């Protein structure tokens, strides 16, 4: 468990149910905007439960990957009420915005 991973997981844990975030957004939250790739890498090696890593997707609305199989990722997201009918996620509707919660 590296310090970097710890930050990533901590940020991902804050994503509420029914919402998604992006690798880029997570990178920004932890203070390393240019480490988006490393963020994905960290999530790839996340063997912990309690971290909703299935709610993290690409900035362009694509699903991204999942260490237990993308299929499983889709199931989880759909079960939380997110629509993936067109094979990409509408970030305008589902993206988690921190500001909304601070208010």
- Using CB under 7 A, list all residues that contact DNA: 2-5, 22-24, 32, 34-46, 53-54, 56, 58-60, 62, 64-67
What is the DSSP annotation of 22-78?
Answer: EHHHHHHHTT-TT-HHHHHHHHHT---TT--GGGEE-TTS-----TT-HHHHHHHHH
CB of 54 to DNA, least distance (A): 6
CB of 2 to DNA, least distance (A): 3
CA–CA dist 58, 55 (Å, integer): 10
Does residue 58 have an active-site annotation?
no
Please pick, among 26, 42, 51, 53, the residue that the annotation labels catalytic.
Answer: 53
Q: Which is nearer to DNA, 85 or 103 (CB)?
A: 85
Q: Known catalytic residues? A: 53
């Amino acid at each position: 468990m590296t310090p970097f991973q710890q930050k990533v997981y901590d940020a991902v844990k804050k994503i509420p149910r029914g919402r998604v975030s992006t690798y880029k957004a997570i990178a920004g939250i932890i203070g390393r905007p240019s480490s988006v790739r490393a963020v994905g890498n960290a999530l790839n090696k996340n063997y912990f439960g309690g971290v909703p890593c299935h709610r993290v997707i690409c900035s362009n609305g694509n699903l991204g990957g999942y260490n237990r199989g993308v299929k499983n990722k889709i199931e989880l997201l759909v079960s939380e009420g997110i629509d993936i009918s067109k094979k990409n996620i509408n970030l305008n509707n589902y993206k988690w915005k921190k500001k909304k919660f601070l208010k």
